[in-house]
Amino acid sequence: MSTAAAGAIDHHHDPTTSTGIPNKKLLMWAFLASDCMFFGCLISTHLIYRLHPPPGVPAARDVFSIELTSFSTFILLMSSLMMALAVDAIQKGNVKSLRTSLLTTILFGSIFLGCQVYEFNNFVFEKHLTITNSILGSTFFTLTGTHGTHVAIGVLWLTLMYIRSFKPAGAEAARGTWLLLSFVHLVVFMATLGLSMYLVLHFARAAQAGGFGLHTCLHFGKVEYKAILGAIVGFLGVRWFALPRGPVDFDQRHAIDVEMMGLYWHFVDIVWIVIFTAVYLLEYIK
């Protein structure tokens, strides 16, 4: 489809629907409205039960790390920027820019998830705050875990959209081949992402225990060489799948799909804006 012809697409209004709003967008706004109620209940439950931990269980302020949470918040804000740029790119028909923005959003989302895994690990094994040993732990892990699940679903959705953007024009004739290739692409991408997260988290733990130096790097490389090799092969695989192979069936007409996904991702960000204040910052006020 030529971009010049598609340039007239109005991405905010659809005269073919009774509301004048694209149905997919309306569906997503209705879902997000319902998710507001869901998170509203979880946040208020945590606010009610955050005080008075039983003996032996630390108070929230002694457990939280404001530096790590602030970093996560900044990363999620930047991922929102990249998501907005991705939507802007596809609305202009710029698929290359869309892919770059999607990959950056996936990277930032994965960093956020990595920070959450590190935080949970730290809380459970070092600070002894578990989901069962206090009501504070139950409400905290339920709330932030539910938010983390939303982020993980978002990362998966972003990855699927990234892979979808490679669908070759005229692939309907060889639908089976395209589906199989996409599936392999997805597996390689997710395996690489998972391995990279595993390596970063383990390296952070090793650096925390032995200090950040050449000795730690060498020891880590020796212990984790299989995972490092796997990640390198994975990166090469992802790069191979991204090589240009002619025209693609992905343009401005698909902007509504990317925008829908963007709405979901921004929602995850605004929920975190509230959680950051209500759950974390509140604990630091004397």
Partner 1 sequence: MSTSAADADAHDHGPGENKFELFVQLAMLLAVITGIEIITVYLPFASWLLITTLVFFSAVKFLFVIFIFMHLRWDKPFCTILFFIGLFLGGGTMWALLKLFGAAASFPLSSAGM
- Which sign, positive or negative, has the C-alpha torsion 207, 210, 215, 221? negative
Binding-residue total with partner 1 (CB under 8 A): 84
Q: Which is nearer to partner 1, 54 or 211 (CB)?
A: 54
The minimum distance between CB 243 and partner 1, in angstroms, equals 15
The minimum distance between CB 170 and partner 1, in angstroms, equals 12
279 binds partner 1 per the rule CB under 8 A: no
SS3 per-residue string spanning the chain? CCHHHHCCCCCCCCCCCCCCCCHHHHHHHHHHHHHHHHHHHHHHHHHHHCCCCCCCCCCHHHHCCHHHHHHHHHHHHHHHHHHHHHHHHHHCCCHHHHHHHHHHHHHHHHHHHHHHHHHHHHHHHCCCCCCCCCHHHHHHHHHHHHHHHHHHHHHHHHHHHHHHCCCECCHHHHHHHHHHHHHHHHHHHHHHHHHHHHHHHHHHHHHHHHCCCHHHHHHHHHHCHHHHHHHHHHHHHHHHHCCCCCCECCCHHHHHHHHHHHHHHHHHHHHHHHHHHHHHHHHHCC
Residue 38: C-alpha distances to residues 42, 86, 120, 123, 286 (Å): 7, 28, 22, 25, 29
Quick note: the x/- pattern for partner 1 over 59-98, rule CB under 8 A, is -------x---x--xx--xx-xx-xxx-xxx-xxxxxxx-
Quick note: the x/- pattern for partner 1 over 187-226, rule CB under 8 A, is ----------------------------------------
162, 259, 261, 279: residue in contact with partner 1 (rule CB under 8 A): 259
Cβ(102)–Cβ(156) under 8 Å? no
227 binds partner 1 per the rule CB under 8 A: no
48, 180, 218, 229: residue in contact with partner 1 (rule CB under 8 A): 48
The minimum distance between CB 124 and partner 1, in angstroms, equals 20
Strand partners, 248: 168
250 binds partner 1 per the rule CB under 8 A: yes
Q: Which is nearer to partner 1, 222 or 245 (CB)?
A: 245
Question: Where does this chain touch partner 1 (CB under 8 A) — which range of 170-178, 208-216, 224-232, 248-256?
Answer: 248-256
The minimum distance between CB 29 and partner 1, in angstroms, equals 5
Question: Where does this chain touch partner 1 (CB under 8 A) — which range of 50-58, 142-150, 209-217, 221-229?
Answer: 50-58
119, 252, 261, 279: residue in contact with partner 1 (rule CB under 8 A): 252
Residues 97-116 that bind partner 1 (CB under 8 A): 97
Maximum C-alpha span of the chain? 69
18 binds partner 1 per the rule CB under 8 A: no
Residues 167-186 that bind partner 1 (CB under 8 A): none
The minimum distance between CB 63 and partner 1, in angstroms, equals 16
Residues 117-156 that bind partner 1 (CB under 8 A): 134-136
The minimum distance between CB 17 and partner 1, in angstroms, equals 10
